[in-house]
Amino acid sequence: MTAQKKRGLGRGLDALFGPTNPTQQSTPMSEMSEVAITDIIPNPLQPRRDFDDETLQELATSIAELGVIQPITLKRREDGKYIIISGERRWRASQIAGLETLPAYIRDVEDEDLHAMALVENIQRENLNAIEIALGMQRLVEECGLTQEAMAQKVGKKRSTVSNYMRLLSLPSEVQLALKEGVISMGHAKAIAALDHELQIKALKKCVKKSLSVRQAEELARKYTETPKAVETEEEYPESYSRLVMEFERVLSDNISIKRTKSGGSKITIECVNDKEVELLLSRLSEIK
């Protein structure tokens, strides 16, 4: 595992549940073994729900050629089967590659630690989207009976960071889907979450339609909070108007607005807050010529 991936949570499985490094000595809590793939079952508390078919096939091809370089981690059940703690992608890809057994670390862990280990390992290795992380944290709190404070210690995050993730689950389903699909970022979602429920969808649409940056989304949320009347009077414009503004913003400035005139037309305003922005605007215009 690279240093970059270890920064995902700040603490690895070693820090939480003891060593898993293959170079470290086996202890009563950990042993190496070759396990039949048919004896392995996925963790029902697995925080990741989506496995991309294309990347799985790529991993399967690599495993077919080179074998499984990094063993998966399992918990032995009383019936002789094994639950995956970490490495479900490798298990799935190995099935595609036609392997019959997998190298695995067998860990002696309590059931209450199983989900915590799966959550930490997946966040570090699989780059879960923010909603998957939030759902995993919620299940860790609810099913393991942990407080947010205790759970924050488990995953090596600040209490405030955990709260920010958990707040995402109170957002409208449209906002959660946009975040899950990568249409907006965690920063956008945090800005939207600061609004009253009825304004969150409106803010989402504006963020997507105008491709707002996180800073602009925060400014939008501030505007919606401080001047609710301005939100009520915002007008809907034809698609051609919106495209025109977006084209201007793309080459000139982010601070462009459009308003209806009494005659039924429209007026586009470019806002410059200081002389420096005027000079910048002139520079951009000269580049267009």
Residue 40 three-state SS: strand
74-109 in b/e form (b: 16+ CB < 10 A) is bbbeeeeebbbbbbbbbbbbbbebebeebbbbbbeb
Active-site annotation holder among 31, 34, 54, 88: 88
Q: Is residue 15 within a helix (H) or strand (E), and if so which, with residue range?
A: helix 13-17
Cα–Cα–Cα angle for 123, 124, 129, nearest 5°?
A: 35
Residue 142 known to be catalytic? no
Distance CA 233, CA 237 (A): 12
Q: Is residue 266 within a helix (H) or strand (E), and if so which, with residue range?
A: strand 266-270
One-letter identity of residue 21: N
Please list the active-site residues. Answer: 88
